[in-house]
Amino acid sequence: MKFTEITSENVEEFSAYIDADTADDLDRTFFRSIGALGDDDAPVGAIVYELKNSENEDDTKSRIILLEGIDDEVTEQLLDEYKKELSEDEVTESYYETSNETLYKLLSDNGFSGEQEEGEEISVSVEDLRKLNGVFKVKSFPEYIKSISELSTLQYRSFIKNCLFRGKYGILEDLSYLPKSWFETEVSSCAVVDDTVQGILLIRKNPSGKLIAQLYVDIGPDSRRNLLLILAYSCRKITELYPEGTEVIVRRHSDAVRKLTDKLLSDPKGDKVYCGTRSEE
């Protein structure tokens, strides 16, 4: 079996194994992908993973996002190849989160721990957001709350730098490498005071049409008020621009996000998923 690096140039060949949303991320700075090729050079499997802390002094970790193969032998060989690649990046630990029981069993057979728990991601419908519009009770938004489409590049980059230098990344390891256009600029909102961005809610639209919240932060003196207003603004925009069936994904990666979703949504629950880790040292 041969292995090859999968990039945006050859990802189409692996479309049987890599879905459109995952394929869309392959160009991102910390995403890696290895494809397995059978004897006739036809794709037979793929693994996609994201490195964490690879550019700083902390231990580098790898999050396995996808592992698919034509059979168990392929997936096991992919895992072996993956392990070799990890040593080059000095990865100390791998981890995963999946709802796929077969994958969970395969990873468990290959040294990963595993247990079932509630997943970080929750899905919110446009209908839920319409109800939230009622909860927020914002009749009209002040002038300083706007879509990020109205921001200049300087304003956007200045704010992102301020966030990064304060250690605020949201769920984006590569926030410093992502341009404003990577986000859905009409539904992503911000608070601009004294010509400076103070707060932002960045939302990305995947090829499958899902909207995913990426960064939600305000660093100004009126952060509480601004956070509420920018959230209300984005919710209003989504309900105006997107059809009923649109899914909005929120990854509850921190306690603060969990508390917010618990407060705003009735009984938000993530799907049951399998999670596990493996030491790579």
Partner 1 sequence: MSDVGYVSLYVNTVAIMLCLGVHVLVWKFKMKDIREKRVFLYLLGDIVVMSLFYILCTFRDDGVIPCNKLGAMFLETGLEMAINIFALIWFLYVDYRMFHSVGHIKRNAVIIMVPLLLAVLMNIINIPTKFLFDYDMSEMHVVETSFYVFLDVIRLAYFIVSIIILVIRKRKDERMKFFSIGAFIIPSVFYVFLYYFTPFPTVSLGLTIAVTLLYAEMVNEKCYQDEKTGFYNMLYLDYLKKRIAENKYDLRSILMFNVPESEMEKSSPLITKQLPEFCDTIRCGKDKLIILSRVKDKGPLTMLSEDVKMSLEEAGIAVESSFKLKKKNETAESFLEDFMRNA
Applying CB under 8 A, the residues found at the interface with partner 1 are 29, 55-58, 144, 154, 157-158, 160-162, 164-167, 174-177, 193-194, 219-222, 225
Cβ atoms 11, 32 nearer than 8 A: no
Q: In whole angstroms, how close is the CB of 141 to partner 1 at the nearest point?
A: 14
Nearer to partner 1, 147 or 158 (CB): 158
For tokens 């990865």, name the residue: 91
Residue 220: CB minimum distance to partner 1, A? 7
Q: At 228, list the tokens.
A: 């509420």
Least distance from partner 1 to the Cβ atom of residue 199, Å: 12
Task: Find the shortest distance in angstroms from Cβ 165 to partner 1.
Answer: 4
Shortest Cβ 72–partner 1 spacing (Å): 37
181-216 as b/e, with b when 16 or more CB fall inside 10 Å? ebbbbbbbbbbbeeeebbbbbbbbbbeeeebbbbbb
Strands ordered across the beta sheet of 196-205:
121-125, 247-251, 211-218, 196-205, 189-193, 145-147
Nearer to partner 1 by Cβ, of 103 and 197: the residue is 197
**CA angle (25, 31, 34) in 5-degree steps:** 100
Return the structure tokens found at 84: 């070799």
Cβ nearer to partner 1, comparing 113 with 181: 181
Closer CB to partner 1, residue 16 or residue 256?
256
Q: Which is nearer to partner 1, 1 or 164 (CB)?
A: 164
Give the Cα separation of 235 and 141 in Å (integer). 12
Tell the smallest beta-carbon distance from residue 131 to partner 1 (Å): 28
C-beta of 3 vs 30, nearer to partner 1: 30
Of the two residues 88 and 194, which places its CB atom closer to partner 1 in the complex? 194
8 A C-beta contact, residue 277 and residue 112: yes
- Nearest approach, Cβ of 193 to partner 1 (angstroms)? 4
C-beta of residue 149 within 8 angstroms of C-beta of residue 156: no
State which H helix or E strand residue 107 sits in: helix 101-109
